[in-house]
Structure 1
């Protein structure tokens, strides 16, 4: 579970997981996958050695965060605004002793979390100076990746009332949630829900990786499948609500060359659309590229010396 909770001005509670030094000058926000939750640390060694304060927030309905209010459409931009509100009201409200200038923020997003990271940077440019986009699928109309029958179902759900759409998609995702929660332990959790495939086997063989991903998925479905359903609807059934071309922060786009879900074509689309972007593809990596690339992501978002 998240190690903190915070109540937003709206009265909705969010779960927060923090890592590293809370007084570090540099803050990195990590936006999780769908399904996912804030408890996932892609590489604890890399997280521990970078001089940074890492903040991850459960999106609505995941982990320790309340679901979206009844009757409200799930929204990428609202999720991004939740991050901004928390940072402004808690993390950035006071400057730690010894830090003489305003603290700066970098944001990383893995898979579906990449859209939230971009929305955060586009809508709150005063907070964000660097973005890392990792294995994030492009819009389906730009780079087709959603099977036509599933996109047709999303279009149908998009025409319903929000509560009905979430309820119907939740019922469709219930078997997936049941399979995750029925596993004997984190290491036995089926990982297809997060886009893992055979190309990720080498990554999953690393110390603790399978357990960490499994723990995240169990936390993601702790309240049931409604969080995942809402997340999916936010980017398949309704417009994203922001334009990636509005991002002015320096952006690193990272992809796995073996990622069948969000590979080279997706990374290249973001490289064309986001104004100040560079692209790096990791050989032999799949959708779990976030694990081997985490050290690189942190060095980009928090440039400077590491700590021993």
Structure 2
């Protein structure tokens, strides 16, 4: 874990902070990798990239009482398309590459239709790895009023 802010952000699908300066400037405590904490006293933001987006969704559903914001980045449609998402109540940002064959805007629209409070943003230049280039946007969604 890095930082010392009041806002905790859990990152699924990466083993390091994709933008340490941006994270620090927002005053965010970022937890990456396995063993993510759930004993934070305030609301928690969650981000999942690629296949780990499904883990982030599962976490958001299990901890709906503390997860208030969620970001999914290039998350594929699960093999079992009947996935239950009614327990996910977090305000969600969907970031997808407009022209990515595997997880492009069409996949983003699939998620948007199934999540109650979701906004889709398709990046025209991006490929499947949008985490680092879109980190500033991710943080602005997860911690909109946090600044150091």
The reply to whether residue 125 of structure 1 matches residue 64 of structure 2 is yes
**Cα separation, 1, equivalents of 2:30 and 2:103:** 25
Q: Secondary structure, in 3 states, of the residue corresponding to 1:288?
A: coil
The structure carrying a bigger helix percent of its residues is 1
The equivalent of 1:115 in structure 2 is 54
**Cα separation, 1, equivalents of 2:52 and 2:66:** 18
Task: Give the number of equivalent residue pairs.
Answer: 148
Q: CA deviation at 1:131?
A: 0.4
Point out 4+ residue stretches in structure 1 off by more than 3 angstroms: none
The reply to whether residue 290 of structure 1 matches residue 135 of structure 2 is no
Structure 1 unpaired stretches of 5+ = 1-17, 59-81, 93-101, 143-238
Q: Secondary structure, in 3 states, of the residue corresponding to 1:269?
A: helix
Q: CA deviation at 1:140?
A: 3.7
RMSD of aligned alpha carbons: 1.9
Q: What per-residue deviation string (whole Å, max 9, x for no partner) do you get for residues 121-176 of structure 1?
A: 1111112111001110012465xxxxxxxxxxxxxxxxxxxxxxxxxxxxxxxxxx
Preserved contact between residue 50 and residue 306 of structure 1 (Cα < 8 Å): yes
The structure carrying a bigger strand percent of its residues is 2
Structure number with larger C-alpha Rg: 1
Structure 2 unpaired stretches of 5+ = none
Q: CA deviation at 1:257?
A: 1.5
Preserved contact between residue 17 and residue 32 of structure 2 (Cα < 8 Å): no
**Cα separation, 1, equivalents of 2:24 and 2:99:** 28
Length-normalised TM-score, structure 1: 0.45
Q: What per-residue deviation string (whole Å, max 9, x for no partner) do you get for residues 193-248 of structure 1?
A: xxxxxxxxxxxxxxxxxxxxxxxxxxxxxxxxxxxxxxxxxxxxxx9xx6223211
Length-normalised TM-score, structure 2: 0.90
The equivalent of 2:9 in structure 1 is 28
